[in-house]
Chains A and B, each alone.
Chain A
Amino acid sequence: MTDIATTRSATARKFWRYAGTFALTALLCGVLLGGLSAWFLGSVALAGLTAAAYSFNFHVPAAFVRLFAVGRTAARYGERLTGHHAALTDQTTHRVALFEAMAAAPAVRNAGWQLADQARLADYLDDVEDLDFARLRADLPAALLAAGLIGASIATAFIAPIALAPIAALLIVLAAMAQRLGRTGAGHWMQARGLRREGAQRFGAAMASAVPLQAERQWADHCAEALGRFSQADEAERTLRLAQSGLDALATLLGPVAAIGVFAAAWYGGARSEALLIPAFLAFSWIALAEAAQGASRMVVATLCRRAAKAEIDRWTATATQAAAASQSPARLQALQSSALQRRTPDGRPLGSLLALALQAGRPTILTGASGAGKTSLLKQIAGWTGQDVMESETGPLSAADRRAAATFCPHDAAILADTVRANLFAPSRSDEQLWQALEAVELAGRIDGAGGLDGWITQDILSLGEAQRLNLARAWLSTKPLILLDEPTEHLRADQGLRILTRLIDRLRDRIVVMSSHGVSALPGTVTLRL
């Protein structure tokens, strides 16, 4: 853990302490404000009947009433502010850790990164947020409510013990209902989540085949069938909300039941007029406290959402491989070979017969073959992204992890980070001049100049597919790694432009081992073609 991370978690702990203190203060002030005001009015009303009116110390309780009023306002503001600060700080810690954990998840390196899909990413982010804010939405208010209930119950035990019977009965029913809501609610929530995921997946598949489906006159059905699941999910969520409303309705009874209970207990205990002032204090305190119980169902739901979110996120990171110890990666490589490489499909099944692979620096290898022949899979295997193959080099055997460290892999669907052009080139050690050279080489200098230069902010949306591909090739151009793997480097480029850029790139990388997959390019001098 770095120093910054340590400071960050210390800050978060500090803010949680503040938030807890403020929240408790706010609750206490609110409860006391309610109780004291009632007690005060009762006292003065009784004093007003007699000559005691003139000796009644009016100022002290009045000052306390004002103090509690101002205190409640200030403490609530402090609670909101510090609570959010604590939750947001936790969020940073949590998200940085999650980013690291996700990077270690094997799914990242397998075929098709699912979170590149907007719908999947949006669901994932919802889960992350449910986790981030559960403490603020559920834990803090629940702890506070529990503390308040315990405090008020103790006071009741001293002042009007019989009143504890109805209060306890109601609290037990509420607790049972909350538990039941937690259980059945989790079911509805899982159902809603499942339906949403299924709907998104089906609609995505239908959208990708919109024209063929329309030609078969099946589009309307598929569209309605897939999107209908979203409405079914809304129905499941509605069922959850209906279940919530029962708990909330019963919770509104806590104030009246406790107040009447306390008063009645005191009355039947023989308390009259002045002796009823303390019970009045307690009764009105209960009414103020009961306000805090109004959000009970939301706390339950926040808890069950957190559980579902955690299970989902753990699914990604559970299979994470331990970050490999710093692997030995050679700075230069002349040759890389495998006498009998078993090619594998993306899901790990063996594919074809054993392949003798001999890669050499300065002799780029072009993988060709029909769609689905396994070109990308082989590139990933060479890059060490999938499989556990060991390959031979002049410096000794290189494991998959070694090759990962020694390779720059340019996937055909390489993404553009929302960041500066400079950051997107992933070459912090290169000078500006070198970066511009790279952009010139991929015929992107003019476009980048127009978009604000190296420090201009770019996103995926503002670049066309061809521009993104060329930026991706600039990354390869700038790479210092000895092993460069290019997946469909000329995809989305005009044939002549693709050939020009690729020729320059291969010339630039003549001292590295270069492997690329391609449909079209075969007329490159000095290359070896491997047909799969």
Chain B
Amino acid sequence: MEQPALPEHQPERCAEDAFAALDRARELGARGLAHLLGWQLARTALRLTASGFMAWLFGHLIMGQDFVPWLVVAIAVAAAGAALVGLMADRAQALAEAEVSTRLRDAAITKLQTMPARLLQALSAGGVTVGLQRHPEAVASLVIGHRAASRMMAIGPLMAAAVLAIVSWQAALLVLVLTPVMILFFALVGQIIRSRADAQEQAFSHLAGQFADRIRTLPTILANDALAEEEAKLASRLDAYVGKTMSVLRIAFLNAGLIDFFASLSIAMLAVFLGLGHLKLATIPGFSNLELWQSLFILMIAPDYFAPFRRFSEQYHAKAEGLAAAAALDRLLGTDHAPAPRLPAVEWALAELSLPDHGLVVVSGPSGTGKSTLLRRLAGLESGSTPSPSTMPQPCIWIAPDSFVGGSTLAEAITEGLEAPDAIRLHEAAASIGLLDDALLPGGLSARIIDGGTNLSGGQRLRVALARALVSSRAVIADEPTAKLDPATAEAVRRALLDMARNRLVIVASHDPALIALADRGIALSAASCLETAA
């Protein structure tokens, strides 16, 4: 037996549809990053200047030289300048990160707005919500904050070394020589951290989310009367997790410890060398015959050499989080993960079909033959290999248990986004399908709708959508409108659909024999009939 031949045509699968969050964010952040780096460089320069002048002033005063008023002015200007420029740098960072985050989210929104329903339905709503809430921010702080810190790690120490070289190139050389040693240690420690963390991840990843998991599943735990056991288990697992986490942290904190060590060591070494030089107990080139202000200058500038390293090491988690967030956004918004299913019955039905401009068209057939897909194709929400012969008038009203319910009252929910109908028509529409005497929705047309209809059942949502259709004059698509309704309401729904079909097009997918019997035209989707006809 042969399947009807369908051309392999999947318009969603092309390279330009990859979201590429990281590249996008880099591009968006380039200007902001440049500004930020500019301000940070200026801040470093001014800080170094202020420190240098302070060393000069204090050195002169201690050595009994005259007070130099302009030095105080210079220090004040440099320190205030550094504070002001620092303020600008912080602001530039906050603004740049917010900008990247917002524009990245805008790009993601554009992507979602044009995503076909089939792909949207494959996404987890919670996952997309969490992702679009947090991920853009994480990516932004990677491409702005982390990148700036890594650039500053390259430039900042060199600036400090250059300033040191003004008084003693040998001292500058000393701190420069310490750096490769420090980096070597970094690499070693980094290696250990990674291997430890990997081992940890494999062995104990299941412990990490236990609290979240038990909060999520709390009703189930209560339903099975297992609270006491689960609480004890949670406590012991959290304890175990603390132990394992600490064994990783012991290594991870070595990184910060190393920077502290080298910064402290350099100060101690410089102080001792410089002290020996002043006492003329040893003649170390570059450390002897210095004025006090020069020694103090070296002592004050040297820590600034190490500061950028520390700032960078504080950012290590920003990198991991940002990369993970970018990858997660790509995964969420990349559209190549859900190829369109091949539904021969749908293609065949579309090829045969011509839609009347009014009347009740009922699509029937067993589950899985593509009734919903056919409805989406007819509504123009998806494209496929066979073009729809005559598309529905747009936009239409979609009636289903998952119809959208907006507004804060029933009246608002029915009229939202429609031309305001007159009060009588609205009242009649709501009354005709039992929305006004529903015990679970008291208050008639002013019944309260909470947070997008979380207080409504699927049946109620469906009837609200039906009322919307009744007060508008748009074409109607209904997906299983009578399933899960009590017989009286189901009859009212059938009547309403038939009533609307008198002057507009109503397309319904249904299992309901009573509804199928009312159809002006029936489309029976079934794999078998489709193959017969195609043969």
Interface set of A (CB-CB < 8 Å, partner B)? 4-5, 8, 33, 37-38, 40-42, 44-48, 53, 56, 58, 61-62, 65-66, 68-70, 72-73, 76-77, 80-81, 84-85, 88-89, 91-92, 95-96, 99-100, 102-103, 108-109, 112-113, 115-119, 121-122, 124-125, 128, 196, 199-220, 222-224, 227-228, 230-231, 233-235, 237-238, 241-242, 244-246, 248-250, 252-253, 256-257, 259-260, 263-264, 267, 272-273, 276-277, 280, 283, 287, 345, 347, 349, 351-352, 369-374, 404-405, 408-411, 414-419, 423, 426, 428, 457, 475, 479, 481, 519
Contact B130 A122 (CB under 8 A): yes
Known A99-B214, A370-B489: A280·B58 in contact at CB below 8 Å: yes
Interface residue ranges of B123-161 to A (CB < 8 Å): 123-130, 132-134, 136-137
Distance between Cα atoms of A457 and B230 in the complex (Å): 16
Is the beta-carbon distance between B132 and A227 smaller than 8 angstroms? yes
Interface of B is mostly: helix
Provide the B213-235 mask, 1 if CB < 8 A to any CB of A, else 0. Answer: 11111111111111101110111
Inter-subunit contact B238/A91 (CB<8 Å):
yes
B87 within 8 A of A: yes
Whether A209 pairs with B235 at a CB distance below 8 angstroms is no
| Contacting residue for A256 out of B75, B295, B395, B397, CB 8 A | B75
Q: A41-B271, A45-B278, A457-B206 known; A208 and B62 CB under 8 Å?
A: no
Q: List 8 A-B contacts (CB under 8 A).
A: A41-B275, A72-B260, A77-B253, A103-B231, A211-B121, A230-B136, A237-B98, A273-B64
Task: Answer whether residue B439 sits at the interface, using C-beta atoms and an 8 A cutoff.
Answer: yes
Q: With A207-B128, A370-B489, A428-B229 known to touch, is A113 a contact of B102 (CB < 8 Å)?
A: no
Q: Are A234 and B137 in contact (CB under 8 A)?
A: yes
- A41 to B113, Cβ gap below 8 A? no
| Contacts from B to A (Cβ < 8 Å) | 50, 54, 57-59, 61-64, 67, 72, 75-76, 79-80, 82-84, 86-87, 90-91, 94-95, 97-98, 101-102, 105-106, 108-109, 112-114, 117, 120-121, 123-130, 132-134, 136-137, 206, 209-227, 229-231, 233-236, 238-239, 242, 245-246, 249-250, 253-254, 256-257, 260-261, 264-265, 267-268, 271-272, 274-276, 278-281, 291-292, 295-296, 299-300, 376, 379, 381, 394-405, 417, 439-440, 442, 451-455, 457-460, 465, 477, 484-486, 489
Q: Is the CB of B400 within 8 A of A245?
A: no
Cβ-closest 8 pairs across A and B: A118-B126, A205-B452, A372-B457, A245-B90, A209-B404, A370-B486, A249-B87, A215-B398
> In the complex, A93→B22 CA distance in Å?
39
Residues of chain B lying within 8 A (CB to CB) of residue A457: 206
Q: Chain A contacts of B278 at CB under 8 A?
A: 41, 44-45, 47-48
B contact residues around A96 at 8 Å (CB): 231, 234-235, 238
Q: Are B250 and A212 in contact (CB under 8 A)?
A: no
Question: Which residue of chain A lies nearest to B57 when distances are taken between CB atoms in the complex?
Answer: A263
User: When the two chains form their complex, are residues B275 and A260 in contact, meaning their CB atoms are under 8 A apart?
Assistant: no
Residues on A with beta carbons closer than 8 Å to the beta carbon of B95? 238, 242
Indicate if the CB atoms of A253 and B83 lie closer than 8 Å.
yes
> Complex formed: what's the CA distance from A4 to B234 in Å?
13
Judge whether A234 and B98 touch: CB under 8 Å: yes
With a cutoff of 8 Å between Cβ atoms, the chain B residues found around residue A46 in the complex are 62-63
Contacts of B279 in A (CB 8 A): 44, 47-48, 53, 56, 58
Closest to A124 in B: B215
Partner of B217, one of A33, A417, A479: A417
Tell me how far the C-beta of B145 lies from the nearest C-beta in chain A, rounded to whole angstroms: 11
Contact at B451–A256, with CB atoms within 8 Å?
no
From known contacts A212-B402, A220-B113, A475-B224, infer whether A113 and B218 are also in contact, taking CB-CB under 8 Å. yes
Contacts of B299 in A (CB 8 A): 37-38, 41
A119's partner among B133, B256, B396, B440 (CB-CB below 8 A) is B133
CA distance A108 to B265 in the complex (A): 57
* Nearest B-chain residue to A218, judged by Cβ: B417
Cross-interface CB contact of A73 among B90, B216, B261, B453, cutoff 8 Å: B261
Residues of A within 8 A of B403 (CB): 209, 212
Whether the pair B212, A121 counts as a contact (CB closer than 8 A) is yes
| A212-B398, A256-B79, A417-B214 known; A113+B219 contact, CB < 8 A | yes
* Contact partner, B220, options A77, A95, A405, A417, Cβ 8 Å: A417
| A415 adjacent to B210 (CB under 8 Å) | no
Give the distance in Å from the alpha carbon of A84 to the alpha carbon of B109 in the complex. 39
CA distance A118 to B402 in the complex (A): 19
A349–B220 alpha-carbon span in the complex (Å): 25
- Cα–Cα distance between A91 and B281 once the two chains are bound (Å): 56
- A42-B292, A121-B212, A242-B95 known, 12 other contacts, Cβ within 8 Å: A5-B235, A102-B215, A118-B125, A125-B211, A208-B125, A210-B121, A227-B132, A249-B86, A256-B54, A280-B58, A371-B458, A428-B229
Residues A216 and B127 in contact, CB atoms below 8 Å apart: no
Contacts of B257 in A (CB 8 A): 73, 76-77, 80
Contacts of A369 in B (CB 8 A): 486
Give Cα A201–Cα B299 distance, bound, in whole angstroms: 56
B206: chain A residues within 8 A (beta carbon):
418, 457
CB of B440 within 8 A of CB of A345, answer yes
Asked if residues B79 and A227 are in contact (CB atoms below 8 Å), the reply is no
**CB closest chain-A residue, reference B64:** A273
Residue in contact with B84 in the complex, picked from A92, A200, A249, CB distance below 8 Å: A249
By a CB distance below 8 angstroms, the chain A residues around B113 are 219-220, 223-224
A58 and B279 CA atoms in complex are apart in Å by 9
Q: Which residues of B contact A218 (CB under 8 A)?
A: 395, 404, 417
Chain B residue numbers with a CB within 8 Å of A8 are 239
Q: Are B105 and A227 in contact (CB under 8 A)?
A: yes
Q: State in angstroms the CA–CA spacing of A418 and B54 once bound together.
A: 60
Question: What chain B residues lie within 8 Å of A47 (beta carbons)?
Answer: 278-279
Query: Chain B contacts of A257 at CB under 8 A?
Result: 79
Query: B249's closest neighbor in chain A, by CB?
Result: A84
User: Which residues of B are found within 8 Å of A352, using beta-carbon distances?
Assistant: 439
**Residues from chain B with Cβ under 8 Å of A115 in the complex:** 215-216, 218
Residues of B within 8 A of A347 (CB): 455
Q: Do A245 and B62 form a contact, CB below 8 Å, given A72-B260, A369-B486?
A: no
In whole angstroms, how far apart are the Cα atoms of A109 and B218 in the complex?
9
The reply to whether B271 and A414 contact each other, CB–CB distance below 8 Å, is: no
Known: A53-B280, A276-B62. A81 touches B250 (CB 8 A): yes
Complex Cα–Cα for A66 and B439 (A): 81
Chain B nearest Cβ from A181, distance in angstroms: 13
Asked if A205 contacts B398 (CB within 8 A), the reply is: no
In the bound complex, residues from chain B placing their C-beta under 8 Å from that of A410 are 223
CB pair B90 A249 closer than 8 Å: yes
| Min CB–CB distance B24 → chain A (angstroms) | 16
Given contacts A119-B130, A231-B105, contact A89 B440 (CB under 8 A): no
Specify which chain A residues have a CB less than 8 angstroms from the CB of B59 in the assembled complex: 45
Query: B443 to chain A: closest CB distance in Å?
Result: 11
Docked Cα-Cα span, A373 to B209, in Å, equals: 37
Q: Which of B276, B439, B451 has the most chain A CB atoms inside 10 A of its CB?
A: B439
Residues of A within 8 A of B261 (CB): 73
Give the docked Cα–Cα distance between A277 and B64 (Å): 11
In the bound assembly, the distance between CA atoms of A95 and B238 in angstroms comes to 9
Provided the pairs A102-B218, A248-B90 are in contact, do residues A73 and B264 lie with their beta carbons within 8 angstroms?
yes
Q: Are A84 and B246 in contact (CB under 8 A)?
A: yes
What's the minimum C-beta distance from B314 to chain A, rounded to whole angstroms? 10
**B223: which of A119, A220, A409 is its contact (CB, 8 Å)?**
A409
Say whether, besides A85-B246, A103-B221, A65 and B272 are in contact (CB < 8 Å): yes
What are the residues of chain B within 8 A of A287 when measuring CB–CB?
A: 300
Closest beta carbon of chain A to B2's beta carbon, Å? 28
Q: Shortest CB–CB separation between residue A530 and chain B, in angstroms?
A: 14
CB distance from B62 to the nearest CB of A (A): 5
